[in-house]
Amino acid sequence: MGIDIFSKNIELNDPLRVFIEEKIGTLMKYLKGDGIGIRVEVSRPSKHHRSGDVFYAEANIKMGGKLIRATAENRDLHTAVTEVRDELQIQLKKLKDKKLSSRR
């Protein structure tokens, strides 16, 4: 199980790749089993914003037949990735609670 990172309209350098792997890697405690894939895309939707750069981050987690998806837009790329991680964490906690309550 690895994290696939893609970029569009920005350069994906090593510090950015390490940052994304660290942030999204914290979700591994919720993900157990085989057949799990994580895809993260960071981009700048357009190159012509007048009021500064706007960055977009999206993450998709495939768990068996389920897809968990989170997106965020922000002026700072690191903040957008952090927002995506937080949203995914909330969704994974809900999914885990549903599984636990269905067992009872």
> What pLDDT shows up at residue 70?
96
Residue 79 phi, psi (nearest 5): -65, -40
> For residues 22-36, b (16+ Cβ closer than 10 Å) or e, as one string?
ebbeebeebeeeeee
Check which CATH number belongs to the domain holding 14 and give it: 3.30.160.100
Pick the closest to residue 62 from 92, 29, 21 (CA basis).
Answer: 92
Write out the two tokens for 43.
Answer: 């981009």
Whole-structure pTM value = 0.85
The domain of 95 spans: 3-103
State residue 1's pLDDT score. Answer: 63
Query: From first to last of its 104 residues, what are the pLDDT tens digits of the chain?
Result: 688 999 998 899 999 999 999 999 888 888 877 678 899 999 988 766 666 668 999 999 998 788 999 999 998 999 999 999 999 999 999 988 877 776 66
CA atoms of 19 and 35, how far apart (whole Å): 24
Q: How many distinct structural domains can be found in the chain? A: 1
Hey, which bits of the chain come out as E strands? 3-8, 36-43, 55-63, 66-74
